Structure 1
Amino acid sequence: MSKSPHAAKSLEVRHALWGLQKELLSSLKDQYDAENGYESAPTEWFQVLMGSERYAWLRELTSLMADIDIMTELDFITEGHAGIARAEIERLLFAQSEENFNKQYRNFLISGVNLMPLHNQLKAHVQQLPQVKTEREQSLAERKNWHEEHRHQARKKRN
C-alpha cells in the first residue's frame, strides 16, 4: 500500500466507487429480471451485461474503476495521480453533460433507484482529493501511465 498522504483518501474513493457500481448493477439486474419475468442466473446476467449494447454505456465506468484500482496499488500516489482520479470521476459522474454514460447515469439517479446516498457519499470522498486542471486527453494519458508505473513496480518487486 502507498505511503503517500493521498493513499487513504484514494482508497476511500475506490471503496465508495465500488459500492456505487455494485448498487447500480444490482438495480440494473432487478430491472432486467422484472422485464423478463424471471430471476436470471448470475452467469446469464453476466453474459447479457457484457454482450448487450443496452449496457455498453457502463464500460466507461468499468474502465475508470480498473484504472482507479491500479492507481491505489501504486507504491506512491502523487498529488497528480489523486487529482486526475478526482477529475475523471467528476467528469464521468458529477458533471452535467450529454455524454452517453452521464446521460444514462443521471436518468438512473432520478428514476427512484436508491443510488443517491451512495452518489453523495462518493462525492464527499472525491472532494477530499486534490483538484487539478486537466484536459480529457491528458487525463487519459495519465491513466495509461498508472498502468505502466504499476507494471514497472511489479517487475521491480519480482527482481
Structure 2
Amino acid sequence: MTKTAHHSATLQVRQALWALQKEVLNSLKEQFDREVGYQAAPTEWFQVLMTAERYMWLRELTSLMADIDILTELEHIAEEDAGVARAEIEKLLIDHVEEGFGKQYRDLLMSGAGLLPLHSQLKAHLQQLPETKMEKHQTVHHRKNWQETHRQQSRKKRN
C-alpha cells in the first residue's frame, strides 16, 4: 500500500477530531446527568443520543468523521482531497456558523467544557493540510468519491 505525503497529516487531523468528538460527548453526557439527577448508564445515554431531538445536531459531525475515516483508509490521498477534508472540518468546527451545528458547538465550546485545548489542537493540525476554495456541491462530490474509491479498494483486497 502506498501512502502520500498528505496521509500522515490527515491521520493527525483524524486523531484530533476523534479526541474532540469524545470530549463533546463527555461534556454533553455530564450536562445530561446533571439535568436528570443521576449518572445515566452507557446504554441509556446512547439511546438518548440517537433519539433525542436536542442531539440531532451531532449527526453532521458524525457524518464528517465517517468520511474522514474513509479518506484515511485510502491508499492515496491527493492534495485536493486533503484540502477538501480541511475545508469541510473548518466549515463545521472552525467557522462558527450561527445556526444548527455551528451554534450548538460554539455554545458548548464557550461553556467552559474542556473542549478549547482540543479545538486548538485540531486547528493546529488542520494547518498541515492544504487549503482549497471549493463550492459546497464540489466538496460533497469529493466526499462521495472517497466512499466509492474505498469500496473499490475493498473489493480489490478481497479478490
Bin of the TM-score, shorter chain as denominator length: over 0.9
Runs of 4+ aligned residues of structure 1 deviating over 3 Å after TM superposition are none
- Tell me the residue number matched to 1:86: 86
Task: Figure out how many residues of one structure are paired with residues of the other and give that number.
Answer: 159
**TM-score w.r.t. length of structure 2:** 0.98
SS state at 1:120 partner: helix
Q: Closer, same or farther in 2 for the Cα pair 1:71/1:138, shift >3 Å?
A: same
- Tell me the residue number matched to 1:108: 108
Q: Distance in 2 between matches of 1:27 and 1:6?
A: 31
Q: Closer, same or farther in 2 for the Cα pair 1:2/1:17, shift >3 Å?
A: farther
Cα distance, 1:104 vs. partner? 0.6
Q: Distance in 1 between matches of 2:52 and 2:2?
A: 37
- Tell me the residue number matched to 2:147: 147
Contact 1:2-1:76 at 8 Å conserved across structures: yes
Structure 1: 5+ residue stretches without partners: none
Structure 2: 5+ residue stretches without partners: none
After superposition, what is the alpha-carbon deviation per residue over 1:104-155, rounded to whole angstroms, capped at 9, x for unaligned?
1011111111100000000000111011111111111110110000000111
- Tell me the residue number matched to 1:50: 50
- Tell me the residue number matched to 2:18: 18
- Tell me the residue number matched to 2:3: 3
Q: Distance in 2 between matches of 1:47 and 1:2?
A: 40
Cα distance, 1:157 vs. partner? 1.2
Determine if the alignment matches structure 1 residue 124 to structure 2 residue 124.
yes
Contact 1:92-1:101 at 8 Å conserved across structures: yes
Matched-pair identity in %: 65
Q: Distance in 1 between matches of 2:71 and 2:99?
A: 25
